Structure 1
């Protein structure tokens, strides 16, 4: 069987693409400036894997207090309660708002966990030089990028949960320390996704190590 012909890439063609405007420029030693928009160009994002991994570790550390610490403190005429995201899901489920409970669980617990797991898998597979399932991993990264565009919905859902509790119980609702941790998790996962250079997935196919 004849060997598979090399895939045509900008790197092989001696070109470098701008991440901001998409313009192609001749490949020179890093860094160079895009002639169209003036952005700094790099063949690969500097220290991409280490940055992504560090941001992921920070997000994972904060993920626990985000779910265990109270995200809101509810003060009524009779009592003061501290509610976590999980207790909020249980509250809406028990009060008949099952759709809202599923929404909060999905955006506040499930999706952040899946995003961190997917990015962790991509970082580990690239770091270990895996040349398998490149297309599938690229699709996975595109899904993570797409979900990342809606990341602020996580925070919005928590705010919605607080507003509904205030409406139903006519109570004073204040943000708890879990809300700050949760917001930090959202921001860190967004930064981790932005720091990851998907071109590293294909570098093994070119027998080069740009990491």
Structure 2
């Protein structure tokens, strides 16, 4: 065999396994952009104030999600702090991590993609819960008449992160379905 033939065999042997990223078509190619935008929005949504509460005209307090978690821990409300941490930080970050893993690293022809898609579906169920809770807090503060609460940019960035990750997951699921990699129970 000539040297060229050995080189061709070496290159062929090193080909990466078929992934969703390598087989993406059309809108499906937006998944990495949506994941990156969602990570950026999530960071801002966690760090920026989500609600501003004004009491008796004189006192104003702006609360971010990370600040609220820290305040809950420091005031001894450990269980509530862990719940908020789980639903506000862990589940959204987990959803983005699983989405990115399926997109980039999970071989389509492997049974592992089915397990990863099941995990993504489970994590996705809990993604919007925190935005709903924050919305209820703002509504209840306004309805009580004791304080005036207004939503702040952090809430919108957090909602954008949740929406972007949901769109990325939907495009990923569509691509997996097209590639016959999705489990029948998820159809």
For 1:46 and 1:184, locate their aligned partners in 2 and report how far apart those are by CA, in whole Å: 24
For 1:89 and 1:122, locate their aligned partners in 2 and report how far apart those are by CA, in whole Å: 30
The aligned counterpart of 1:178 is: 154
Question: Residue 172 and residue 131 in structure 1: after superposition, are their counterparts in 2 closer, same or farther (change >3 A)?
Answer: closer
Give the match's secondary structure for 1:143. helix
Deviation at 1:142, TM superposition (A): 1.3
More helix by share: 2
The aligned counterpart of 2:6 is: none
Match status 1:198 vs 2:160: no
Deviation at 1:165, TM superposition (A): 7.1
Please, which moves more after superposition, 141-150 or 109-118? 141-150
Match status 1:114 vs 2:94: yes
Give the match's secondary structure for 1:71. strand
Contact preservation (8 Å) 2:141, 2:148: no
TM-score normalised by length of structure 1:
0.63
Please, which moves more after superposition, 135-144 or 116-125? 135-144
Alignment length (residue pairs): 155
Please, which moves more after superposition, 138-147 or 110-119? 138-147
Match of 2:59 among 79, 92, 102: 79
Aligned-pair RMSD on alpha carbons?
2.9
Deviation at 1:131, TM superposition (A): 6.6
Match status 1:149 vs 2:149: no
Give the match's secondary structure for 1:172. strand
The aligned counterpart of 1:139 is: 115
Answer 1 or 2: higher relative contact order, Cα 8 Å, separation at least 6. 2
The aligned counterpart of 1:8 is: none
The aligned counterpart of 1:125 is: 105
- Listed as ranges, the matches of 1:1-211 within 5 Å are 46-47=25-26, 49-77=28-56, 78-125=58-105, 130=107, 134-162=110-138, 170-196=146-172, 197-199=175-177, 200=179, 202=181
